[in-house]
Amino acid sequence: MSLARTLLLSTLLSSALSTPVLAADVPPVDAFAGCAADVSEAALQAFAEKVDIYWNARDASALAALYASDASFAVAADNLHLSDRKQVQAYFTHSFQTLPADLKHKMRVSRVKSMGNFCTMDSRAVIGRIKDDGSMNALVEFSAFWVLRPTAQGVEVQAARVAIVPAKPAPASKI
Nearest alpha carbon to residue 95 among 138, 47, 59: 59
DSSP 9-69: HHHHHHHHHHS---GGGS-GGGTTTT--TTS-HHHHHHHHHHHHHHHHTT-HHHHHTTEEE
Per-domain residue ranges of the chain: 31-164
pLDDT digit string, tens, across residues 100-122: 999 999 999 988 888 888 889 99
What's the CA gap between 113 and 35, in Å, rounded?
A: 5
**Is residue 6 very low, low, confident or very high in pLDDT (cuts 50, 70, 90)?**
very low
Nearest alpha carbon to residue 161 among 18, 62, 2, 7: 18
Q: What's the topology of domain 31-164?
A: Nuclear Transport Factor 2; Chain: A, (3.10.450)
Q: Whole-number mean pLDDT of the chain?
A: 81
Grouping H, G, I as helix, E, B as strand and the rest as coil, residue 136 is strand
CB 157 within 8 A of CB 148: yes
CA 87 to chain centre: 16
Cα dist. 20→2, 5, 9, 48, 130 in Å?
A: 27, 22, 16, 19, 28
pLDDT digit string, tens, across residues 47-76: 999 999 999 999 999 999 999 999 999 998
Q: Is the confidence at residue 86, as pLDDT, over 60?
A: yes
CB 105 within 8 A of CB 73: no
Nearest alpha carbon to residue 154 among 33, 68, 44, 34: 44
Q: How many residues does the chain have?
A: 175
What's the CA gap between 146 and 132, in Å, rounded?
A: 33
CB 162 within 8 A of CB 150: no
